Amino acid sequence: MRTHLWSLLVLMLVPASRAAATEVDMQLVLAVDISRSMSHVDLATQRRGYAEALTSDEVLAAVSRGMLGRIGVTYVEWSDVERQRVIVDWTLIESPDDASGVAQRIIRETGGTMRMTSISTGLAFAAGRFRDSPFTSWRRVIDISGDGPNNDGLPVLAARDRVTAEGITINGLPVMAGGRDVIWHLPDLDLYYRDCVIGGPGAFVLPVRGWENFGDAIRRKLVLEIADTRPAAPPERLHRASAYDCLIGEKILNRMRQRDN
């Protein structure tokens, strides 16, 4: 009797929105960079890559193999501290039709680029999406993609640590495809993401080394995330003697400003 009364009391104390939440195998925020270093063609390639990956047989099979066979997904785009947009709000994916609906909304987006790159604000915005989620799960993952370092807003390490302190995993998809803005190009962007961006349980980086490989990369990454599996670790670069400078983007920006003054 006491156990029954205690259970009833706990349910009464849980907010109605939380009590009604749908349980899923994971909640996934797809956080996609739209900074000005990317062309309109690049943006279209990104959106098409995510849309095709979500509807692929491999990703749908990974979803179906979960304990519950369903995940919650939201797709957002970010650039500087002023620009973060929800393109697809939280949506349940447990069937091909569900995935197709998300894909169609992503493809319909035609928004352009913004000047700066604030990975830190993008992470904070993505983490905030979990507070508005209609789902509940043990695993919460941010899948963040981008083609350059943080150069706007808070330092990226501070943002990463705040997000991972909430038990959220951050996985990275650094796009190393030689964007149109060579000033911000880092030949080892994958190491920057590894040391400065990702974090949390099972976090990993999966680099994209050419736009022609983007679709395959995001599909593989989604399968790994949904299955809660890390890719085989690449060989350590022997010449790398110390941790990456996580303020490299801010330092490049300061040099540009000094040169222009």
**Residue-wise pLDDT tens digits, 149-164:** 999 999 999 999 999 9
**Residue-wise pLDDT tens digits, 214-260:** 999 999 999 999 998 767 655 444 344 458 999 998 888 888 777 77
Average pLDDT over every residue of 163-186: 84
Position 233 scores a pLDDT of 59
The answer to whether 168 and 53 are in contact (CB under 8 A) is: no
Q: Calculate the CA 182 to chain-centre distance.
A: 23
Q: Which CATH architecture has domain 21-231+246-260?
A: 3-Layer(aba) Sandwich (3.40)
The pair of structure tokens assigned to 90 is: 């939280």
From the list 249, 240, 202, the residue with the least C-alpha distance to 224 is 202
| Single-letter code of the amino acid located at 193 | Y
